[in-house]
Amino acid sequence: MSTMNTVGRPTAPNAVDHDYKHPTLTGGRGLLQDELLIFESDGWGKTGVDLPDPKGAASDLGDLVRKDPIGLPGLSEPEAMRHYVRLSQKNHAIDLALYPLGSCTMKHNPRLNEKMARLPGFSDIHPLQPISTVQGALELMDQLSHWLKTLTGMPAVALSPKAGAHGELCGLMAIRAAHEASGQHEQRRKVLVPTSAHGTNPATAAFVGYTVVEVAQTGDGRVDVADLASKLGPDVAAIMVTNPNTCGLFERDILEISRLTHEAGAYFYCDGANFNAIVGRVRPGDLGVDAMHINLHKTFSTPHGGGGPGAGPVVLSAALAPFAPAPWVVHGSDGYELIEREEGDAAQAFGRLCAFQGQMGMYVRALSYMMSHGADGLRQVAEDAVLNANYIKARLSDVMSAAFPDGPCMHEALFDDEWLKGTDITTLDFAKAMIDEGFHPMTMYFPLVVHGAMLIEPTETESKAELDRFINALRLLAEAAKAGEVERFKGAPFHAPLRRLDETRAARTPVLRWTAPEGTNIAAE
Amino acid sequence: MRYLPLTPDDRTAMLAAIGAKSIDDLFVDVPQAARRDGFVDLPHVMGELEVDRALSAMAGRNVAAGSRPFFCGAGAYKHHVPATVDHIIQRSEFLTSYTPYQPEIAQGTLQYLYEFQTQVANLTGMPVANASLYDGSTAMAEGVLMATRVTRRNKAVISGGVHPHYVRATETVVHAVGVETQALAAAVDAEAAVIDAIGPDTACVVVQTPNVFGTATDVTKIAEAAHAAGALLIVVVTEAVSMGLLKSPGEMGADIVAAEGQSIGNALNFGGPYVGLFAAREKLIRQMPGRLTGETVDADGERGFVLTLSTREQHIRRDKATSNICTNSGLCTLAFTIHMSLLGETGLRKLALLNHEKAVATRDALAAIPGVEILTPRFFNEFAVKLPKNAAEVVDQLAAHHVLAGVPYSRLAPEAGMDDVLLVAATETTLDPDIQILAKSLTKVLGA
């Protein structure tokens, strides 16, 4: 492996010289360093932590002791810093530039939230410490619950779901428990889900054992109420509707949808992924929602961290509140208490979703964000998110084709690929070319109901100047596409650490871990 | 409103560009009856200083583990996390990035996920690992569901040594899809008893080692019995550091490993966010839940990494997906990976041995107290003791003496009738004076 190290590029068997950049001797590109895997370093036997020497072997454990090498290289502290800093430089991030992923809500992550979450009184407390020693943590959970209930106009909240999809699971399990309690579970086996829903919606319904029935969409991007009504009946447990929906539109008929649903004896699950578009202006409780998860990372800015952790508290209507899972906080005679099991007042709780209290670290960040904005600031959040999206839609509609040109959008602007017809350039090509202009691509090919969809969500933390910069880049790209500059798109990205990755190869012959080349000795010294 | 960059003039200009008279024009689709004109009844905007004070006051009402002798475990462990770990994960490019859907500009995330998968596979002794799940308990639930898919059988046998909260979290989810569970009675040395419960309809056997009472067991024979019956063995590990000292689950015949990774790189955080480790035999990879990162090449033939095998996932398969999960614990996996890279094999083995020695020293100190009975025969860094009094009451009294003495088993499972059982954990952060203070305080509380 040391030979690999001196070569610089460990596994580039098919590497070819490319004429778009000047080849270097080492493979480095200016400040952008190639970086080996830690397993290709010379770190077998090395460690970057100083620990006192143990006194002896674990003789009392006998043959339970692990003998063979594990295969874990070590790095000294400076090597570790460099390794991960070099890797970091190959990532796009919201702190670098606008990150217009629709339906993902990439907004500024205030560092105050991070500072608060790291206070030892929050980060260094154990989930099973005596309740008397975690009163402040329970107070924080109680406060967060109060904010969420007030903002949504809902009477109860289950904090423990660990992500949005986990929240969907929580909501559907509460619905299921309610039908079980009323003796209707056996007959109500269907969940209605619009075609435009996030993939997690049907996956969750199936995960809880329901049959998923799709509901059609109207030409103007909303739930087809007639189709919904025709499918509602005594065999339906719930509907799952995203509002604002994944086309970036408010469901105009939402009150009718909830009325019909309740008339049919079903519950209304709302996917709250897009709550940031209406927070402070519309309360889901006023729309007849029975359960809705709130992605704290989206609406309340806890960082996405390369894929998580998220947090997905679920607000519940009075009908579903008794079924909320343990644990939850109550006001006791002597401070806050934690209900940890299904008994007494909590006898109808549907169970438990995870080992402990949920994503406490995310609760701190979310409450910090909420308090920083306040009721007035959160309303401004929704207004600016919607204003920014409509501004993008208005400024790009003459060069790209808006999927739903009539009327305003909410927090995201949706385009289709109609305007690319005849250019030989696809949505994917266009998105990859955006990378060369310094932006992360928008969400592509979603929602599925729009051909070649491009879903752009700027969020409320973008300035007008940054929006104009983004709009200018897209306008120039659109003009280049129409002018026939196909190569600019087909080969893109040219200015990224890597060019188009072969995803088919990765799936066809999965290589999911590093393995030592034959004859390598990786034994720890 | 320091996080909102638009000025009033910007808003006016933008509304004009849109062709709207006011912001209300953009909310026309909201039914009149559901529009709220005023503000909700919550405090208004607060400056950074005010928020800092309010939250710091709440944090100040908690007792931090590092501030006193601390012996709580039962699925969450106080370890020292090198400063470098938290520094690196706060770098913008990691902290504020998203799921690596655009691999060309997400190689940083994808490469560390690949390193994580390799570390977890090697640590658990399994051929492949995914890019993490929410936590150990949800990983166990996913493991059981996966086993029922693979075996086309419907029943899970769960050892009485598995953490009761893990059992409950699993039952909650798997019962919803009609999977049956047979949870055996809690017992300190429960693992061997599961063999008798294995039958022809068993999809999987779930054991934990070290188990919730701290007992470390060689589960090889259980694996053999499970395999002979056509069932899979799921091994749960709540203390990842233990795998640095003990035989790996893979070595003992596990088919699926569901573990909690909090111990490496991640703080206690009152229970979350944590990081679920999930590893399995190679032939099961297309049935695995969650994200996977794979190696491939780019257009120039250079090595790179992408999210892969996504045809198992919810965004492709919708209601046919292997799981509804659409995320992983990205930043927590990064913390795990950095800490593990700093430790290396040498450091991890040393750390594990230190943990064990601290626990042995703690046990020896407690064993010398009249009336205290050590229940756990072989353990890694946690053991159970039987007290002559109600353990929860003893813990509360010791808390008043500024000692956090452990977790009463009744907190996890009051129905088990083990009100006098206390779970005591020690780690490398346990200092010798801490052990002396615990022993002295416990003697005092019991002697009263």
Chain B residue nearest residue A459, CA to CA:
B4
Which chain B positions have a beta carbon within 8 Å of A68's beta carbon? Answer: 251
Q: Which of B184, B167, B173 is nearest to B258 (CA)?
A: B167
Angstroms from A463 CA to nearest CA on chain B: 5
**Residue pLDDT tens, chain B, 448 long:** 899 999 999 999 999 999 999 999 999 999 999 999 899 999 999 999 999 999 999 999 999 999 999 999 999 999 999 999 999 999 999 999 999 999 999 999 999 999 999 999 999 999 999 999 999 999 999 999 999 999 999 999 999 999 999 999 999 999 998 999 999 999 999 988 899 999 999 999 999 999 999 999 999 999 999 999 999 999 999 999 999 999 999 999 999 999 999 999 999 999 999 999 999 999 999 999 999 999 999 999 999 999 999 888 888 888 888 888 889 999 999 999 999 999 999 999 999 999 999 999 999 999 999 999 999 999 999 999 999 999 999 999 999 999 999 999 999 999 999 999 999 999 999 999 999 999 999 999 999 5
Helix (H) or strand (E) holding A413: strand A413-416
Angstroms from B248 CA to nearest CA on chain A: 7
Q: In the numeric block, which tokens belong to residue B126?
A: 């399994």
* Nearest-angstrom CA–CA distance, B271 and B262: 9
Q: Which of A57, A128, A355 sits opposite B407 (nearest CB)?
A: A128
Q: Which of A371, A363, A349, A215 is nearest to A302 (CA)?
A: A363
Q: State which amino acid sits at residue A288.
A: G
Chain B residue nearest residue A91, CA to CA:
B106
Residues of chain B numbered 44-83 and touching chain A (CB < 8 Å): 44-46, 48, 50-52, 54-67, 70, 72, 74-76, 78, 82
The verdict on a CB contact (< 8 Å) between A135 and B44 is no
Question: DSSP E strands: which ranges in A307-380?
Answer: 314-316, 328-332, 335-339
Angstroms from A107 CA to nearest CA on chain B: 9
Q: State which amino acid sits at residue A205.
A: A
Sign, Cα dihedral of A322, A325, A326, A331: negative
What is A422-437 written as a DSSP string?
TTT--HHHHHHHHHHT
Angstroms from A262 CA to nearest CA on chain B: 17
The verdict on a CB contact (< 8 Å) between B72 and A286 is no
Angstroms from A18 CA to nearest CA on chain B: 8
* Nearest-angstrom CA–CA distance, A62 and B118: 28
Residues B278, B289 contacting (CB under 8 angstroms): yes
Angstroms from B228 CA to nearest CA on chain A: 23
The CA-atom distances, in angstroms, between A450 and each of A138, A195, B235 are 45, 11, 45
* Nearest-angstrom CA–CA distance, A301 and A298: 5
Tell me the HSE value of B387 on the side-chain side, using a 13 A CA sphere: 27
Q: Which of A83, A200, A361 sits opposite B314 (nearest CB)?
A: A200
* Nearest-angstrom CA–CA distance, A209 and A206: 5
Q: Which residues, at least 6 apart from A78, have a Cβ–Cβ distance to it below 8 Å?
A: none
Q: In the numeric block, which tokens belong to residue B6?
A: 């638009």
Which chain A positions have a beta carbon within 8 Å of B86's beta carbon? Answer: 118
Residues B88, A73 contacting (CB under 8 angstroms): no
User: What is the 3-state secondary structure of chain B?
Assistant: CCCCCCCHHHHHHHHHHHCCCCHHHHHCCCCHHHCCCCCCCCCCCCCHHHHHHHHHHHHHCECCHHHCCECCCCCCCCCCCCHHHHHHHCCHHHHCCCCCCCHHHEHHHHHHHHHHHHHHHHHHCCCEECCCECCHHHHHHHHHHHHHHHHCCCEEEECCCCCHHHHHHHHHHHHHCCCEEEECCCCCCCHHHHHHHCCCCEEEEEEECCCCCCECCCCHHHHHHHHHCCCEEEEEECCHHHHHCECCCCCCCCCEEEEECCCCCCCCHHHCCCCEEEEECHHHHHHCCCCCEEEEEECCCCEEEEECCHHHCHHHHHHHCCCCCCCCCHHHHHHHHHHHHHHHHHHHHHHHHHHHHHHHHHHHHHHCCCCCEECCCCECCEEEEECCCCHHHHHHHHHHCCCECCEEHHHHCHHHCCCCEEEEECCCCCCHHHHHHHHHHHHHHHHC
Chain B residue nearest residue A306, CA to CA:
B98
Say what the pTM is.
0.96
The verdict on a CB contact (< 8 Å) between A463 and B28 is no
Q: In the numeric block, which tokens belong to residue A32?
A: 């952008």
Residues B265, B338 contacting (CB under 8 angstroms): yes
Helix (H) or strand (E) holding A10: none
Angstroms from A412 CA to nearest CA on chain B: 12
Chain B residue nearest residue A117, CA to CA:
B269
Which chain A positions have a beta carbon within 8 Å of B310's beta carbon? Answer: 507
Running along chain A, 525 residues long, what does each successive block of 10 average in pLDDT?
34 45 74 90 93 86 94 97 97 96 94 98 98 98 98 97 96 97 97 91 92 94 96 98 95 97 98 94 96 96 93 98 95 94 89 97 98 97 98 98 96 97 97 96 94 97 98 97 96 94 95 87 51
Q: Greatest CA separation found in chain B?
A: 83
Angle at Cα B328 formed by Cα A164 and Cα B206, nearest 5°? 100
At residue A8, the pLDDT reads 37
Note the Cα B384 to chain centre separation in Å: 21
Angle at Cα B324 formed by Cα B323 and Cα B330, nearest 5°? 95
* Nearest-angstrom CA–CA distance, B40 and A382: 13
At residue A253, the pLDDT reads 96
At residue A33, the pLDDT reads 82
Angstroms from A483 CA to nearest CA on chain B: 25
Chain B residue nearest residue A141, CA to CA:
B58
* Nearest-angstrom CA–CA distance, B430 and A86: 35
* Nearest-angstrom CA–CA distance, B122 and B117: 9
The verdict on a CB contact (< 8 Å) between A375 and B306 is no
Q: Which of A87, A128, A355 sits opposite B135 (nearest CB)?
A: A355
Residues A190, A236 contacting (CB under 8 angstroms): yes
At residue A10, the pLDDT reads 43
Angstroms from B155 CA to nearest CA on chain A: 16
Q: Which residues, at least 6 apart from B246, have a Cβ–Cβ distance to it below 8 Å?
A: A61, A64, A65, A66, B209, B210, B216, B352, B380
Q: In the numeric block, which tokens belong to residue B432?
A: 């010798």
* Nearest-angstrom CA–CA distance, A236 and A192: 7
* Nearest-angstrom CA–CA distance, B56 and B48: 12
Residues of chain B numbered 321-360 and touching chain A (CB < 8 Å): 321, 323-332, 334, 338, 340-351, 353-354, 356-357, 360
- Burial class from Cβ neighbours inside 10 Å (0-12, 13-18, 19+) for residue B114 reads buried
The CA-atom distances, in angstroms, between B357 and each of B67, B364, B426 are 22, 10, 9
The verdict on a CB contact (< 8 Å) between A46 and B354 is no
The verdict on a CB contact (< 8 Å) between B64 and A75 is no
Q: Which residues, at least 6 apart from B368, have a Cβ–Cβ distance to it below 8 Å?
A: B439
Residue A295 per-residue DSSP state: -
Helix (H, G, I), strand (E, B), or coil: what is residue A261? helix
- Burial class from Cβ neighbours inside 10 Å (0-12, 13-18, 19+) for residue A390 reads buried
Residues A53, B350 contacting (CB under 8 angstroms): yes
Determine how β-strand B256-260 pairs with β-strand B202-208: unpaired
The verdict on a CB contact (< 8 Å) between B344 and A308 is no
The CA-atom distances, in angstroms, between A218 and each of A228, A251, A404, B49 are 11, 11, 11, 49
* Nearest-angstrom CA–CA distance, A365 and A350: 28
Residue B161 forms contact with A (CB below 8 Å): no
Q: Which of B4, B56, B98 sits opposite A380 (nearest CB)?
A: B4
Mutate to test the interface with A, among B102, B248, B269 (most CBs of A within 10 A): B269
Treating both helix axes as pointing N-terminal to C-terminal, what angle do B391-400 and B432-447 enclose, rounded to 10 degrees? 120
The count of other CB atoms within 10 Å of the CB of residue B432 is 11
Residues of chain B numbered 192-251 and touching chain A (CB < 8 Å): 216-218, 243-248, 251
